[in-house]
Amino acid sequence: MLYTVIAIAGGGGGGQAGGGDLLTGFIIPMALVFGIMYVLVIRPQQKKQQEHEEYLKALKSGDKVVTQGGLFGRVTAVSERTITLDIGDRTRVKVLRSHVIGSQDAALAGELEGGGGAAKNDEKSKESKDD
C-alpha cells in the first residue's frame, strides 16, 4: 500500500499514472476493511443494543434488575422514563429506565458487560482468605 501511495505521489517515473492503480491499490482494500469492521464490530453492537431496548420496554413490576450503579432491586412501578426499585427494607429508589443494565440473574452469572468483574474479584478474595 505504501508503494502505491509513493507511485501516485511521484508520478511513477515516466509513464502516465493509471487511475486503475488507485482503485485496486487503495479504494478496494479500504472498502474491504470497512466491510469486515461492519460485520465483526458494528452489526453485533447494534443487535445487542436492540435486544437491550426490547428488554427495557418489557420491564414490569416484580422483575429483579441491576442498575449501572450496581443497585440490585425489584421493580415496583414502571413509567415511561423511570422505574421504581425496592432495594430492601422499605427503601425505594426511582431510577431512569435507561440505567437498567439487565436482570439480577444475568449479573450474578457474569453474563452482563462489566457485571462479572465484581463476582470474579469476590471469588479471588475468598480464595486468598482460604490460604
How high is the pLDDT of residue 21? 79
Same domain membership, residue 64 and residue 9:
no
Same domain membership, residue 117 and residue 64:
yes
Same domain membership, residue 32 and residue 11:
yes
How high is the pLDDT of residue 54? 96
Distance between CA atoms of residues 126 and 36, nearest Å: 42
Same domain membership, residue 39 and residue 23:
yes
Distance between CA atoms of residues 95 and 87, nearest Å: 11
Same domain membership, residue 48 and residue 79:
no
pLDDT tens for the 131 residues of the chain, in order: 666 656 666 654 554 555 567 777 888 889 999 999 999 999 999 999 999 999 999 999 999 999 999 999 999 999 999 999 999 998 999 999 999 999 999 888 887 775 444 444 455 444 544 54
How high is the pLDDT of residue 117? 47
Give residue 114's domain range: 59-130
C-alpha cell at 24: 485496486
Count how many domains the chain has: 2
How high is the pLDDT of residue 20? 65
Same domain membership, residue 69 and residue 24:
no
